[in-house]
Amino acid sequence: MSHVNTNAKARLLVPLTLVVALAACSGKDETAPAAPTAPAATAAAPAAAPPAPAVSAKVQSMGTEELRDLASKALRENRMYGPAGDNAMEYYLALREKTPDDASIKSALSDLLPYTLIAAEQSLTREDFTEGQRLVALIEKVDPTAPALPRLKSGITNGMQTALKRTQEETDKVKKDAENKVKLLADQQRQQQATEAEAAKQIAAQQDAARRESERQDTERQAAARREAEQRQQAAAAAQAAAARQPTAAPAAAAALRPISTPAPRYPTDALRAGTSGEVLVEITVGTDGSVTSSRVLRATPARIFDREALNAVKRWKFEPVSAPVTTRRTLSFAPGG
């Protein structure tokens, strides 16, 4: 037995040594009176929640032989401290409760303790505090006076507080970022609405200016049309007044006029293309040599369409000489098919 215990202290051969030690002690009488059970050390509760028992209830309910077999298998498969409920540490702790005087079991736990300490340190490094609490509970169950326990417990507590603080900070940052994003979106929406409102205002102003300009142009066109109508009315009235003042040639004198050449007026191109017809009443004065000395339009239908061509035509007319100037009126007709 001393040879087995000596080999168990060689750290590189721990799993194999523990198997041998367990096999050497497997023949002990399970019905032997058990020594008083050593009180289990109470695992320090972390800041967040109390940890689960170091040894699961299922493992504690197993018999001695089953625990030895499972411990041997766990060592062969290098399951020294994990997973929870199926590892050599829990099996040996349960065996120690049942056979507290078995030196090989105590030795096996002592050999497994450094590995469990390293695993606990690693769990703190990766911030796996749940696993760290489980491993610390195993360590405390093996040796409540282990020097590393206060540091590990403090590390778990501080680490959990730091992680909680970091989580809270990250939550606050996410919340603040979300609030800033909402505020930014609201600002952008308000800016877009202001831009759209300004654009709508400018469009309305442009439309109003265009409407006023259109109304101004309509007013000017209407005023120009009224002035033109008034001018035509004034011209017609003046023509009628002049005609009233102009001495009318005696019928006999007008009848005495004998035309030599009275060429027809030229038909205006636009009127001919449009198929417009009309007539012009012209007053002419024939001199003693038979030429037309003066002419003017008295009435034209439609107005100003045929006036020029009518006056151009009568200016070329020739009559036989007369003893005295004769004033008379002639109507020139314009018809597209005439």
Mean pLDDT on 67-93 = 95
Q: Mind listing the pLDDT tens digit for each residue in 253-282? A: 677 899 999 999 999 999 999 999 999 999
**What is the residue whose two structure tokens read 């017809």?**
277
Least confident of 123-127, 157-161, 254-258, 322-326: 254-258
Task: Specify if 19 maps to a domain.
Answer: yes
- Residue 286's SS3 state is strand
Using the structure block, give the residue that is written with the tokens 């654009």.
199
284 assigned to some structural domain: yes
pLDDT at 63: 95
DSSP string, 242-278: HHHHSPPPPHHHHHT--EEE-PPPPPPHHHHHHT--E
Specify whether the CB–CB gap between 135 and 124 falls below 8 A: no
Q: How many CB atoms lie within 10 A of CB 319?
A: 21
Q: What is the pLDDT of residue 210?
A: 81
pLDDT digits (tens, 9 = 90+) for 152-185: 999 999 999 999 999 899 999 999 988 989 898 8
The pLDDT, as a whole number, for residue 116 is: 97
Which residues lie below 8 Å from residue 75, measured CB to CB, with a gap of 6+? 14, 15, 16, 18, 19, 88
Peptide bond into 302 cis (omega under 30): yes
Final residue in a domain of this structure, among 116, 146, 176: 146
Mean pLDDT of the chain: 82
Please report whether residue 121 resides in a domain.
Answer: yes
CA distance 262 to 332: 11
Tell whether the model's pLDDT for residue 148 goes beyond 90. Answer: yes
Task: Choose the final residue of a domain: 146, 170, 201.
Answer: 146
Residues 6+ apart with CB under 8 A from 181: none
Q: How confident is the model at residue 187 (pLDDT cuts 50, 70, 90)?
A: confident
Higher pLDDT among residues 182 and 50, named by residue = 182
| Residue 312, CA distances (Å) to 186, 239, 295, 309 in order | 80, 19, 9, 5
What's at 286, amino acid-wise?
V
Tell me which of 126, 146, 166 is where a domain ends.
146
Asked if the structure places residue 275 within a domain, the reply is: yes
* Helix then strand then coil, % of the chain, to nearest 5: 60, 10, 30
Q: In the predicted model, is pLDDT for residue 37 greater than 90?
A: no
What are the DSSP calls for 104-146, one per residue?
A: HHHHHHHHHHHHHHHHHHHHHHTT-HHHHHHHHHHHHHH-TT-
**pLDDT score of 204:** 81
The two structure tokens encoding residue 335? 């018809």
Confidence of residue 338 (pLDDT cuts 50, 70, 90): low
Domain, as residue range, for 316: 251-334
**Residues contacting 310, CB < 8 A, separation 6+:** 265, 280, 282, 297, 300, 332
Instruction: Write the CATH number for 273.
Output: 3.30.2420.10
Amino acid at 188: Q
- Asked if the structure places residue 29 within a domain, the reply is yes
Q: Give mean pLDDT, residues 60-84.
A: 95
Q: Is residue 183 part of a domain?
A: no
Instruction: Tell me how far apart the alpha carbons of residues 135 and 191 are, in angstroms, rounded to a whole number.
Output: 59
Residue 38 included in any domain: yes
% the chain with pLDDT above 70: 79
Same structural domain for residues 130 and 265? Answer: no
Q: What's the average model confidence in pLDDT over 286-296?
A: 96
Of the candidate ranges 196-200, 249-253, 288-292, the one whose mean pLDDT is the lowest = 249-253
What SS3 state is found at 22? helix
What is the tally of structural domains in the chain? 2
Q: Looking at beta carbons, which pairs linking 157-165 to residues 24 or more positions away fall under 8 Å? A: 157/46, 157/47, 159/124, 159/127, 159/129, 159/132, 160/46, 160/47, 160/48, 160/129, 161/47, 163/127, 163/129, 164/48
Closest of 326, 314, 323, 322 to residue 249, by C-alpha:
326
